[in-house]
Amino acid sequence: MIHLVSNQYYSLETLDQVELNLNNLDSFDIEDIELVTLLFQTGYLTISDYNQTTHKVKLNFPNYEVEYSFTNFLVKALS
């Protein structure tokens, strides 16, 4: 996962406000997967809103503990 973080730019402040097309969440190509898709598939991010017109979902951390542990993991791994 650290490799994806270093290769794909996402701000930690806005990581929990990402909007994606619903089809982007079902990628299974581990060699070419978006960081946000991986975080959704592993449970770090969950769907917090769905727009039926655009078929986009908004993702968010499921709770503070998950957000804190993920952020803490990244800070330790990247420093």
Instruction: List pLDDT tens digits, range 26-50.
Output: 767 767 777 788 888 888 899 999 9
CA distance readout (Å), 26 to 3, 7, 60: 20, 20, 17
Do 56 and 21 contact (CB within 8 A), yes or no?
yes
Q: What is the arithmetic mean of pLDDT over 50-74?
A: 89
The pLDDT mean for the chain works out to: 78
Please report which confidence band the pLDDT of residue 12 belongs to, taking 50, 70 and 90 as the band edges.
low
Residue 74: strand, helix, or coil: helix
Beta strands in 1-79 (DSSP E): 19-21, 46-51, 56-60
Predicted structure pTM score: 0.73
